[in-house]
């Protein structure tokens, strides 16, 4: 018998009362997580220690970053400079946010992707044909003073803790952008200078336990629209990265962040570094929380491959230059898909 339809918009508000997921969440057989095929024999994304990034070992660390970006598009970092207290407070208050009554969370509900603070579910409810087992709060956080007034008032410490976390992660992102520039042989400030006045968003992804995790996704395979993404996750696994034709699970390590290359970095690096497919699966036992920081060009920035990485003979420009806002509009005009939004910006080969 078909599972009953639910009138609740957020997964959190019906997940624990169903034994079968609603049909709107069920993927066709050809598009299911196949959890038993996920590689867990040990191949995993590199873990890079940033402790000596400003010491005599800088060159060695830059080389590790270069290898991770070109081979995996993903790496984990430890000794990243964001304090454990800041991280733990962020995770705690984010969990508290999602544990609030439905009415408190629904105050922020919107399906309008242009809203700079909103709660929603799935990915893009207006475009998703099959829904995803995820609720989220998404907000803009740079410059903080432009947005903090719209952030949730509850829990009462939410704004203060999120502002502290966002500021600290932004400082880390700026260090990473310098290191990634150097790893490409560019001037240290090259990438930062290409991002206009910069933009930073955060998502708070909440994945409730799911009675049938083999049938659905928390987030289906996708590439991030960012320059880079810095992901904080709790101790429940769920993230998987596509490498050499298979999905590999990334198991959480305390006090680390996961960094990944997004589409804008793929363009700026002229495809030396690629934005890599990844997805989030859910499980029957435990809720899962992940907090990605999405770092972007500002909407007025114009993105193109770095001149220094273009060589007419051996590496012609793979992309033309485009206003970032054109990419952004395309990204939100669709459902989350494995197909890249970048195809429209390829350099013509004629
Ligand atoms: C994302 C994402 C992964 C996760 O939000 O873009 O890839 O583990 N999240 O939640
Ligand atoms: Ni992602």
What pLDDT sits at residue 4?
Answer: 52
- For ligand 1, atom 6: residue with the closest CA: 224
Q: 3 lies in a domain?
A: no
**Half-sphere exposure for 113 (CA within 13 Å, toward CB):** 17
Q: 349 lies in a domain?
A: no
Contacts with 216 (C-beta within 8 Å, 6 or more apart), sequence order: 21, 25, 26, 27, 33, 130, 132, 133, 210, 282
Q: 320 lies in a domain?
A: no
**278 neighbors 240 (Cβ within 8 angstroms):** yes
Enter the DSSP assignment of 74: E
What pLDDT sits at residue 41?
Answer: 67
The atom number, within ligand 1, closest to the CA of 229 reads 6
- The answer, yes or no, to whether the previous bond of 143 is cis (omega within 30 of 0) is yes
Taking the centre of ligand 1 as the mean of its atom positions, its distance from the CA of residue 280, in whole angstroms, is 6
Per-residue CA distances from 259 to 101, 172, 250, 307 (Å): 33, 11, 12, 25
Q: 318 lies in a domain?
A: no
Range of the domain at 262: 35-300
> How many angstroms separate the CA atoms of 265 and 183, rounded?
13
Q: What is the CATH number of the domain that holds 158?
A: 2.60.120.330
**133 neighbors 25 (Cβ within 8 angstroms):** yes
Q: 20 lies in a domain?
A: no
Look at strands 47-49 and 74-78 and give their pairing. parallel
The domain tally of the chain equals 1
What is the torsion angle, in degrees rounded to the nearest 10, for the CA atoms of residue 289, residue 293, residue 299 and residue 305?
A: -120
φ, ψ for residue 71, nearest 5 deg: -95, -40
What pLDDT sits at residue 1?
Answer: 45
Q: 23 lies in a domain?
A: no
pLDDT of residue 36 exceeding 50: yes
Tokens of 305: 């491959």
Taking the centre of ligand 1 as the mean of its atom positions, its distance from the CA of residue 21, in whole angstroms, is 21
pLDDT of residue 145 exceeding 80: yes
The atom number, within ligand 1, closest to the CA of 258 reads 8
Written in H, E and C, the secondary structure of 285-320 is CCCEEEEEEEEECCCCCEECCCHHHCECCCECCCEC
Contacts 24+ apart (CB under 8 A), 182-190: 182/62, 183/62, 183/63, 183/65, 183/66, 183/69, 184/66, 184/269, 184/272, 184/273, 184/306, 184/309, 185/308, 185/309, 186/306, 186/308, 186/309, 190/306, 190/308
**220 neighbors 240 (Cβ within 8 angstroms):** no
- Percent of the chain past pLDDT 90, that is, above it, reads 89
Taking the centre of ligand 1 as the mean of its atom positions, its distance from the CA of residue 116, in whole angstroms, is 19
Span 203-261, pLDDT tens digits? 999 999 999 999 999 999 999 999 999 999 999 999 999 999 999 999 999 999 999 99
Q: 210 lies in a domain?
A: yes
Taking the centre of ligand 1 as the mean of its atom positions, its distance from the CA of residue 3, in whole angstroms, is 27
Q: 332 lies in a domain?
A: no
Q: Give the pLDDT band (50/70/90) at residue 176.
A: very high
What pLDDT sits at residue 235?
Answer: 97
- For ligand 1, atom 5: residue with the closest CA: 292
Top pLDDT among 339 and 348 is at 348
pLDDT of residue 154 exceeding 50: yes
Pocket of ligand 1 (CB under 6 A): 203, 205, 219, 224, 233, 238-239, 278, 280, 290, 292
Look at strands 278-280 and 219-222 and give their pairing. antiparallel
Taking the centre of ligand 2 as the mean of its atom positions, its distance from the CA of residue 1, in whole angstroms, is 34
> How many residues would you count in the chain?
350
């Amino acid at each position: 018998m078909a599972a009953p339809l639910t009138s609740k918009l957020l997964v959190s508000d019906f997940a624990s009362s169903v034994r079968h997921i609603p049909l709107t969440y069920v993927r066709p057989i050809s598009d299911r997580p196949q959890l038993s095929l996920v590689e867990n024999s040990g191949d995993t994304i590199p873990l890079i220690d940033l402790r000596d990034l400003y010491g005599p070992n800088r060159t060695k660390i830059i080389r590790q970053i270069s290898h991770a970006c070109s081979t995996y598009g993903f790496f984990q970092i430890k000794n990243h400079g964001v304090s454990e207290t800041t991280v733990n407070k962020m995770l705690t208050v984010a969990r508290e946010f999602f544990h609030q009554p439905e009415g408190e969370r629904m105050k922020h509900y919107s399906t309008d992707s242009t809203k700079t603070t909103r709660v929603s579910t799935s990915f893009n409810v207006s475009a998703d044909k099959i829904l995803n087992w995820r609720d989220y709060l998404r907000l803009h956080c740079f410059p903080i003073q432009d947005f903090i007034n719209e952030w949730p008032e509850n829990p009462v410490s939410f704004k203060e803790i999120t502002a502290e976390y966002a500021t600290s992660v932004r400082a880390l992102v700026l260090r990473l952008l310098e290191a990634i520039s150097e790893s490409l042989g560019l001037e240290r400030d090259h990438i930062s200078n290409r991002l206009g006045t910069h933009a930073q968003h955060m998502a708070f992804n909440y994945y409730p336990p799911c009675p049938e995790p083999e049938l659905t996704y928390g987030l289906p395979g996708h590439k991030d629209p960012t320059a880079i993404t810095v992901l904080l996750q709790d101790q429940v696994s769920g993230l998987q990265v596509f490498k050499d034709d298979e999905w590999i699970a990334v198991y959480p390590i305390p006090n680390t962040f996961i960094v990944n290359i997004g589409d804008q970095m793929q363009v700026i690096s002229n495809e030396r570094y690629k934005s890599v497919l990844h997805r989030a699966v859910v499980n029957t036992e435990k809720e899962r929380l992940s907090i990605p920081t999405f770092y972007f060009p500002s909407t007025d920035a114009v993105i193109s491959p770095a001149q220094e990485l273009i060589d007419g003979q051996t590496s012609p420009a793979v992309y033309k230059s485009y206003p970032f806002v054109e990419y952004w509009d395309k990204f939100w005009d669709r459902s989350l898909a494995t197909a890249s939004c970048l195809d429209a910006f390829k350099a013509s080969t004629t």
